[in-house]
Structure 1
Amino acid sequence: MTTPSDLTVGTAWNGELARGWIAVPTASDDKYSRGVLGMVTGSARYPGAAVLGAEAAARTGVGMIRYLGAERAAHEVLRRRPEVVSAPGRVQGWLLGSGMDADDRDADDLRRLREALDDGTPLVVDAGALDLVMRARGPVVITPHYRELSRALAAAADDGAPTPEPDEIRADPGRWAERAASTLGATVLLKGHTTHVATPDGSRVTVTAGPPWLATAGSGDVLGGVLGALVATHADAIRERGHEALAALAATAAWVHGRAGEAASQGGPVAALDVAEAVPAVLRRLLARS
C-alpha cells in the first residue's frame, strides 16, 4: 500500500501504486470478509446507472453487493446480475447518487440516501447525492465532474456566498479539487481526462488514463462502481488511514477505469458496459506484475 509520501501534491498515479490497493482474496476469505458494497443508485428515470455501477463493482472484486435503490432500477440490476442481494443488512461501504437527480428525488429515494449517509460507513457519493454530502457521518469520497462540483459547492455554501461556475473549475481543476476537499471535508475525485484527487489535508494526486472515447454516457457510473468495490474491500484501511486511504483508492479506481477504457476501445468508440466488462482483464494483468 502507499505511504504518505506517495500522496504529495502533483503525484502522478500509476500501476505500481495502484496494485497495492487491489484486495486479493485468500483461502480463508468468505463473501462477507471480502467486502459488502451497499448501493443506492439509479432511479425510475435512469435505471441504467444502477446496472452499470453494479456490473463494474462485481467485476472489480467484492464479496457481495446489496442494491437498495428504486424499484425499477432494482429490477434491471437483478435481471443483469442475479447474484446481487436486494435485502438490507450490514455493508462495509456505500455507493450513492449515480443516476439520481437532486431536483427530482422522491421521498423514498431521499430516505434511502439519508439512512446510508447516517450510518457511519465509508461512502462514495456521486451525482444526485452530492448536495447531501455535508450530513455524512462516515468518511466520504465524492466523484463529481466540473458541473457537479459547482453545484455541490453551491449547496454547501452559506447563503449568498460566491461559488465557482463550471468553467472556472475546468480552467483550474487541481486548485478547485483542493478547495472543495477542504470545504466539504471529503476526498474529491474530480473527473476529467486528467483526474485530480484531493484530500482535506492538502494532499493531491493526478491520474491520466484512458482515451477520449471514455467521455460517454454511463462511463462515470462505471467508475463509481469500481471505486465502490475498492472502498468496500478496504474498510479496515480507511478506518486506520482515513482520507489518505480514500485518496489512494480513488486514484486506483481512476487508473483501472482508464485502462479498462483503453482495453475496450482499442482505438475506436466504446460504450460504458464495454468498459465494465474489461475491468477483470485489467486487474489480472496488473496483479500478474507482482
Structure 2
Amino acid sequence: MNQKKVKTSLLLRLVMELFSNNHFMKSTMMVKKLFILLISLIPTILSAQSYNKLLKDWKSNPLPKHQSYEGQIDLWTVYLEDDQPKVTEKSKPIELPKYIQLKDSKEYESSDKILTHADPSDFQITDNGFLISVNRGEWGGELYWFSKNGKKNYHVDAGNYIQFITRSNDILVLEGLAHLGTSDGRIMQLIKKEDIWTAQKYLELPFAPQTACLDKEDNILIVTTKNIVSVDKNKQIKSIVSFDLWEDHSTSSSIIMHNNILYVGMLFGVYKYALDTGKSEWLTPY
C-alpha cells in the first residue's frame, strides 16, 4: 500500500472514531458542519503532499514491461521551475483569454462553427490574434483562429491538433491519432497568406505524436506512442529511443530537457533518458 492510501486510511479511521464519540455528537450542528468541511479538504492536501515534486528525489526503478491498470491511474506531468525538473499529478489546464469562448458543438449544426467537447489542447499567440487547437481523440479535433479581442474567428483545419511548437519564425503544430491498433501523425505548419491562416503538412511522423519540446540546437524532440524522435531544421528524423518493449506506458503528457537528460511524464511514472550515455531509468515517487 502506498503512502497516499495509508494516510487516507488513517484519516477515515479518525473520522469514524470522532463520530462515535458521544461528546462530539452532542456538539452544535454548526461546529459539526465546519469539522466535516475541514475533513473533506484533508484528502486533497494529503494528495498534494504525498510525493516529492523534485524529480532528483524520486526513486529509480527498472524499466517496466507490464503494468496493471487496477486502482488509481496517475498521468504525471513534468515541468521546469527554478532550473529544476519537477513533476505534478495534475496538468495545468490551457487558460485562454477570458473573452475567447469555445462553445459546445450541440449549439451548432455545422462543423465549420466553433465547437468542442473538450478543453483546448494548446494555443499560440500570433501577430494578428490566437491559434487554438482542440483534440478529442477518436472524435476528431479542430484548429481555430481568434482575433485579439475575440470578436472574430474562423475554422482553420480539422484534425487531432495537439501542441504548438515555435522554431525560428515557423509556427508548427503536432497532429495525429493512435486508435484501434493504428498510430499515425505529422507536423503541420501554419502559414499566413493575405492575413488568413492555413495549415500545411510540414513532415510525416512514424507514429502519432503526444508531446514535444526543443533542445538547445532547436531540434524538436517528440514523444510518440512508440518512441522518442528528433527532428532537425532540415526535416531529418532521428530515432532516439524506442518504446517497443513497453505495452502499457505509451501514454505521455509532457517532455522536458535538463542538462542533456530527457524527462517524460507518463502513466504511473516518469521516464528518464540520458542523451550522453543512453541510460534509461523509470522514476516513481515511492
Q: TM-score, normalised by structure 1?
A: 0.29
Structure (1 or 2) with the greater helix fraction = 1
Q: What TM-score do the two structures reach when normalised by structure 2?
A: 0.29
Higher strand share: 2
Structure ranking higher on relative contact order (CA contacts 8 Å, 6+ apart): 1
